[in-house]
Structure 1
Amino acid sequence: MKRRRLMAEMNVVPYIDVTLVLLVIFMLSAPLLTQGVNVNLPKGVTKPVSDKVPPVLISVTRQGSISVQFKDKHGSVALDDLAADVRRISSSTHGQVQVLVGGDAHVDYGKVMAVMARLQQAGISHVGLLTRPEGH
């Protein structure tokens, strides 16, 4: 009678199967977890703002007031009137307008998102966010 030797090797196939199933679950569920405003992120090194048409600068202060600056004109605007003002500026520049949004570091995040939502209503698809370099 011939005896069989016991195999002392670990079978890793079930571990690989479980790992692949978890990978597929995470890959399918990750896009469902993200929410927010569509933003076109730069693909490479940033380029300077075009000098042909000056950008529209929208600032949100710590108190939540909104100001719009374009060329020599600067003034406060209500959130409800922001879309109309930006639409008017965009039509005067034949749709060639860049919008830059800057907010105080302590302003409510919801206020900045409301400004960006109004810009989306105005038909502005490219919005830049102003930042301050580290250490300044």
Structure 2
Amino acid sequence: MHGPFNRMGRRKPMNEINVVPFIDVMLVLLVIFMITAPMLTQGVQVDLPQVASEPIEETEERDPIVVSVDREGQLSITLGSDTTEVSLDELSQRVIILLERQPGTPVLVRGDRNVSYGEVVTLMSTLQTAGVDNVGLISEPPPGDA
């Protein structure tokens, strides 16, 4: 007798694996991940420069609002020569007031290199909720650069 059955009526072991169902499941999972992955990302919108960074030319008449984070995570706002220490809750209110008085004032963030990335992201998120569209980051040039 020919075919998958032998004389006793039992089936012979199959020596091939059908991978079609496995491929179908993998394609469905791929489509699901492609659709859901963009929805999972969160972040603070930052406009990154398209060229090598250079010092900002100070052509504006008004002083920028500089928000500083020191090594211990203390926040302070500097406008001109006036520096005030604030909490994260007060920061949003003060920035809103300053921007209402002088709309279009640039906002810059100066953070200590030892401050955690999470604190800087929280600060930038707070500034974004206060209505700041563009935030600049202050840095120092590496040693040896003129």
Q: TM-score w.r.t. structure 2 length?
A: 0.65
Query: Counterparts of 1:87 and 1:57 in 2: how far apart (Å)?
Result: 14
Specify which of 110, 121, 126 is matched with residue 118 of structure 1. 126
CA RMSD of aligned residues (A): 2.5
- Following superposition, the deviation at residue 34 of structure 1 comes to 5.5
Does residue 1:62 correspond to 2:68, yes or no?
no
- Following superposition, the deviation at residue 75 of structure 1 comes to 1.1
2:47 is aligned to: 40
> Greater CA radius of gyration, 1 or 2?
2
List aligned pairs for 1:1-136, cutoff 5 A: 32=38, 35-44=42-51, 47-93=56-102, 95-135=103-143
3-state SS in 1 of match to 2:78: strand
Higher RCO structure, 1 or 2 (CA under 8 Å, sep 6+): 1
Aligned residues: 110
Percent of pairs with identical residues: 34
Contact 1:98-1:127 within 8 A present in 2 as well:
yes
The letter of the residue matching 1:89 is L
Query: Counterparts of 1:85 and 1:133 in 2: how far apart (Å)?
Result: 30
Gaps in structure 2 of 5+ consecutive residues: 1-30
What's the CA shift string for 1:48-76, capped at 9, x where partnerless?
A: 24331110011100000001000231110
